[in-house]
A and B are shown apart, each in its own frame.
Chain A
Amino acid sequence: MVDDTIRIEGVGKYFGAEPNLVKALDNVSVNIRRNEFFTLLGPSGCGKTTLLRLIAGFESPSFGTILLDNKDITTLPPYQRSVNTVFQSYALFPHLTVAQNISFGLEMLNKPKHEINQTVDEMLALVHMEELKDRRTNQISGGQQQRVALARALAPKPDVLLLDEPLSALDYKLRRGMQIELKRLQLETGITFIFVTHDQEEALTMSDRIAVMNEGHILQVGSPDEIYNDPQERFVADFIGESNFVEVDIVGKASGASSSGSIRFANSKKSYPVKIPANKKNDKKALVFIRPEHARLDGKTRGATLTGTLANKLFFGTDTNYHIDLDDGSQFVVRAQNTLEGGFSPAVGDKLGIFVDENALKVLKD
């Protein structure tokens, strides 16, 4: 049996009243396992921060239950939950020093003095802030503040650490450094991290599992690999990484419970065997999604999955993105790795064939 720290059961949060009712969260259920790095990913307004605030206890749900270690904490105030938060703005106490900020939670828990001092020293070492412990929090840099915020939230050794877009205020390089540091801290402390971000790259690099959210719902929960390679819905596919969506005809369907079937691209006679989602079984048309790096370009168009004209080339260092105007007028992006040999290098305006393997084709639920 999987060991869950947090269980969210049918939780919803509505703001306001009809006719201006806002459903920030609508009937969400998800289980978060012990010691995992769990990420809530989605665009702003998707409900991820609301969910985090419900877990922290800053808001109470309109309905549903939240359990921490099988204990119902739905109605407990934040200060009675073994859950700590790293705030997006850090919310470091401006009237206290770095060390005083870190010891605050421990003092509130009435820990003995020597234990507090010891934990504060440990935490300062953990985030490499020993030198600055007597500084005021407005006298240190953003990255340092970030680390103090982490140390402050970790010091009481909570069961769960909530992180609300903690890296969004940092510049790119610092952010990369902190991503690695966060992962290290999570492994070292063995605390369950629930991380909220709208940055898919951050989510993919750090998480054990990701929940993709939109409009108050969790659309898909899975490992970064599952989420990236096997998105169930167009929104997930579109939100994470770059994607091409092409409408296809469903030409063959297996009967009964089997999900196998086949599809065919417009203006193409070739059919590809694919898995058809259950809700698409009776449809004639479907949407397939293809990652840009899973397609290949060639000067020849014969036997190609799709054909089109090269409209633009964007050089990214390791890769180049080729933007192709398909014959039906839609756009398609192919990403190819750059090699020193140079290799195939088409010019803008060339007529090109796009080749896709059948296992790179995913039929989406919608």
Chain B
Amino acid sequence: MSRTLSALEQEQIRRKTRANWLLSTPALLLLLFAASGPLIIVVIYSFLSSGNYGGVVWEFSTDAWFNVLYTKDIFDDTVSLSDAHLSIFWRSVQLSFLTTVLCLFFGFPTAYFIATRPPSTRNVWLFLITIPFWTNLLIRTFAILELIRNQGVINNSLMSLGLIQEPIRMLYTDFAILVGMAYVYLPLMVLPIYASMERFDFRFVEAGYDLYASRIKVLRRIIIPIIKPGIIAGSILVFVPSLGAYVTPRVLGGGKRLMVGNLIELQFGQGKNWPLGAALAVTMLVIVMVALIFYVRLVQKSERNHG
């Protein structure tokens, strides 16, 4: 079937290509400057020396990178692995992962519920889902705090019902951070899954039932594989900002359970050590990318297995 293209056809293709490039130029420029620019600045900062009152001194230094992983004892100059930083990174990855799982656990049924409503009421549900976005993050976090604190709504109700004698300690635990982050990021899971689900043809479900698949099997073998792009997108949208979250872990963790976001915020926000903050930020970026590659690989593998 191969044949050579006529001169006219070639010209048409050239024109089309040129038009495509022209049209995408603004987006490309924006990406180049708005996305790569700051990133490059952050990378450069991570190799500079720290100024006394925040900021950087334009002197090359790898101290920041050294400090990401190692600490030097002030008194005897012994070098050891920075347990504090490593455990904060590890805790952040753990909590972000659990947040993602929690969001998936609650987000999937929510998205399913909305997608199976009549089209006229779907927008109302979506609107309700996005309402928290309109409120200041800190205020939303305080709302969670109000629920789970010792004299909060949950503990007070349980105690007045006589189910517990002492308040259950929920605030200032990892559980509190988890609940807070899941609440804050839940819409980011629901919306992409809903987008997939909305395009999902529910006749596939009937076809599955028809072919002897029970409810659970229909969910596992048909619905989930087909809306997987939404699940992947939602997971990424939740995992990435969870890793960088700082207000929620700060307020609900009581300042004792730091995450990477807090650590970075400390370096920049309080103007302690910008290069270290930059190096930590770049480290976090690398962790995010590795985690994403790992995740996508895993998903692809499961796809091959299940076929």
Contact = CB atoms under 8 A, between A and B. Distances in A.
Direct contact of A and B (CB under 8 A): yes
A172 to B, nearest CB: 25
B222 A93 contact: yes
B241 interface: no
A87 B203 contact: yes
Contacts of A156: 211-212
A152 B292 CA distance: 36
Main secondary structure of the interface of B (DSSP, over half): helix
Contacts of A63: none
Given A108-B211, A152-B211, A78 B307 contact: no
A58 B209 contact: yes
Contact of B201 (A79, A91, A95, A96): A91
A79 B219 CA distance: 14
B307 A96 contact: yes
Nearest to B307: A100
Contacts of A79: 209-214
A239 interface: no
Interface in A100-150: 100, 104-105, 108-109
A84 B210 contact: yes
B117 interface: no
B199 to A, nearest CB: 11
B164 interface: no
A340 to B, nearest CB: 45
A56 B209 CA distance: 9
A85 B212 contact: no
A93 B204 contact: yes
B297 interface: no
Question: Considering residues B208, B209, B211, B213, which has the most beta carbons from chain A within 10 angstroms of its beta carbon?
Answer: B211
Contacts of A108: 211-214, 217
Contacts of A89: 201, 203
B225 interface: yes
B207 interface: yes
Contact of A78 (B203, B209, B221, B222): B209
A47 interface: no
Contact residues on A (Cβ < 8 Å of other chain), bracket = 20 to 34
A109 B210 CA distance: 11
A114 B204 CA distance: 26
A79 B213 CA distance: 6
Contact of B210 (A56, A92, A95, A96): A56
Nearest to A97: B307
A94 B203 contact: no
A58 to B, nearest CB: 5
Contact of A91 (B204, B212, B214): B204
Contacts of B225: 95
A60 to B, nearest CB: 13
Interface in A17-76: 56-58
B212 A93 contact: no
A78 B222 CA distance: 16
Interface in A146-195: 152-153, 156
B203 A91 contact: yes
B172 to A, nearest CB: 44
B206 interface: yes
A77 interface: yes
Nearest to B213: A108
Contacts of B307: 96-97, 100
A58 B206 contact: yes
A95 B210 CA distance: 18
A96 B210 CA distance: 17
Interface string B201-240: 1011011111111100100011001101000000000000
A137 to B, nearest CB: 11
Contact of B207 (A80, A91, A100, A109): A91
Interface in B104-151: none
Contacts of A153: 210-211
B208 to A, nearest CB: 8
B212 A109 contact: yes
B217 A95 contact: no
Nearest to A109: B212
B212 A94 contact: no
Contacts of B207: 85, 87, 91-93
A100 B221 CA distance: 11
A105 B211 contact: yes
A56 B214 CA distance: 14
Given A56-B210, A156-B212, A93 B201 contact: no
Contacts of A78: 206, 209-210
A97 B304 CA distance: 12
Closest 4 CB pairs of A and B: A105-B211, A108-B212, A78-B209, A91-B207
Interface of B: 201, 203-204, 206-214, 217, 221-222, 225-226, 228, 303, 307
Given A153-B210, A153-B211, 7 more contacts: A79-B213, A91-B206, A93-B204, A96-B307, A104-B208, A105-B210, A156-B212
8 contacts: A78-B206, A89-B201, A91-B207, A92-B207, A95-B226, A109-B212, A153-B210, A156-B212
